Amino acid sequence: MSTASEYIESVLEGLKVRNPGELEFQEAVVGVLDSLAPVLEQHPEYQEAAILERIVEPERAVHFRVPWVDDEGKTHVNRGYRFQFNSALGPYKGGLRFHPTVSASIVKFLGFEQIFKNALTGQQIGGGKGGADFDPHGRSDQEIMRFCQSFMTGLFRHIGHFTDIPAGDIGVGGREIGYLFGQYKKLANGFEAGVLTGKGLDWGGSLIRTEATGYGLVAFTREMLKTRGEDFEGQTVSVSGSGNVAIYSIEKLQQLGAKPVTISDSSGWVYDADGIDLELLKDIKEVKRGRVADYVAARPNAELHTDGSIWSVPVDVALPCATQHELNGEDARTLIKNGVKAVGEGANMPTDAEGVEVFEASDVLYGPGKAANAGGVAVSALEMQQNSARQSWTREDVAQRLDDIMVNIHAQCVDASERYAGNSSDYVTGSNAAGFVKVADAMLAQGVL
Ligand code: GLU
């Protein structure tokens, strides 16, 4: 048998041949497999059962045409995807992303990451992801509705509450989940509440689902800071993005006495030295669907930047909550030079491969997305539990369960970091190893599938 490192190398070579040009997917797989040599050394049975070869191959991929008609009567065609990556721990679970950058490579990287993230939640959910290369920006409600209906017409036969449970991601929020659910209900001829999560509160949604990723991110980062005897009180924090992950991270940060000072979107990034005005941000983004430039118009002391990097602002903690590859090696070096203590990823793969290396070589507490942003999907799983029991839990109940899950994920990372990296603060190795071992053991138990 080859050594663990040789085995990993040969799987990565095969991956590149079988998935040519899919750079994001390749990067995500390298990011996980690079952590696994010590795990495979302790578990030769994984290599014997070809767990790596199997885990990098989606169990099923659906790729479908999404035709729709705009308000002027013009027909458009988008491409819809659902990658059902791994069902060893439960039904496929993961969001849908509607964004012009969506491609097979992007959905596969997200689906692959989702396997390990979902494993860390301990909620018995497998990994999947989907989306479309549709740009919702500037589209009317009617256009969004027609797009969602067409998307669900292509997807509905492949999902179900025991099979695959989609949810939101970038470009898919409460409005889109409503239209998607309505079309599913019509096509399936049944009110199958547990088939989608992120639903409205009166028709099967869970309290705290909207806030969950942001609240969970702050809880995970709080746990990292605690290992160094610190907390959020009085800390200055940069947050990127201005969607629900950023908004509810900012809300929780303010509750804990921290001062978030930045936000961003594709129109630029904002520095508000007085601290972000949360009510104003919510009004612009959640009510008016506006841009961060509108924030600056209403807050004369805030600065709008259309060049330079949001990560050049000196802060104690940085929370990238926008999208993949928004923080590169140079940004990581700048943050470290300016004294950052912790980085928690609210987005999926926001730090590029060089940035991760820079953080790993430093003593910054670096919490990768698959652990730090797992609160969203964790509360999705709590929504599924409430749907199965036909119950609606209280806000306090869901918030407490979410916090417990994030504390537990942090503890699993520390434990696996000690076991496989020989120190307690390698959250990259910790999150990859802890998630992988659960999935690999379930795959072994269930046979060659
Ligand atoms: N899209 C979110 C994520 O990246 C949430 C998925 C879900 O709730 O299923 O984990």
Q: Which long-range contacts (CB under 8 A, 24 or more apart) does 14-18 make?
A: 14/53, 15/56
β-strand partners of 60: 84
Q: What is the pLDDT of residue 85?
A: 98
Q: Which structure tokens are listed for 107? A: 């959905």
pLDDT tens, 185-206? 999 999 999 999 999 999 999 9
Probe target for ligand 1 pocket from 83, 120, 169, with the most ligand atoms within 8 Å of CB: 169
Q: What is the pLDDT of residue 383?
A: 98
Q: What is the pLDDT of residue 80?
A: 98
| Known catalytic residue at 129 | yes
Probe target for ligand 1 pocket from 82, 206, 213, with the most ligand atoms within 8 Å of CB: 213
**Best CA proximity match to 283, nearest among 269, 303, 302, 297:** 297
**Best CA proximity match to 155, nearest among 61, 52, 19:** 61
Backbone angles phi, psi at 52, to 5 degrees: -65, -45
Q: What is the pLDDT of residue 22?
A: 98
- Distance (Å, whole) CA 92 – CA 159: 9
Which CATH code fits 212-367?
A: 3.40.50.720
Domain range annotation of the chain: 60-191, 212-367
377 CB near ligand 1 (under 6 Å): yes
Q: What is the mean pLDDT of each run of 10 residues along the chain (449 residues)?
A: 95 98 98 97 97 98 98 98 98 98 98 98 98 97 98 98 98 98 98 98 98 99 98 98 98 98 96 98 96 96 97 98 98 98 98 98 98 98 98 98 98 98 97 98 97
Q: Return the amino acid letter for 410.
A: H
- CATH homologous superfamily for the domain 60-191: Leucine Dehydrogenase, chain A, domain 1 (3.40.50.10860)
Catalytic residue among 108, 117, 129, 438: 129
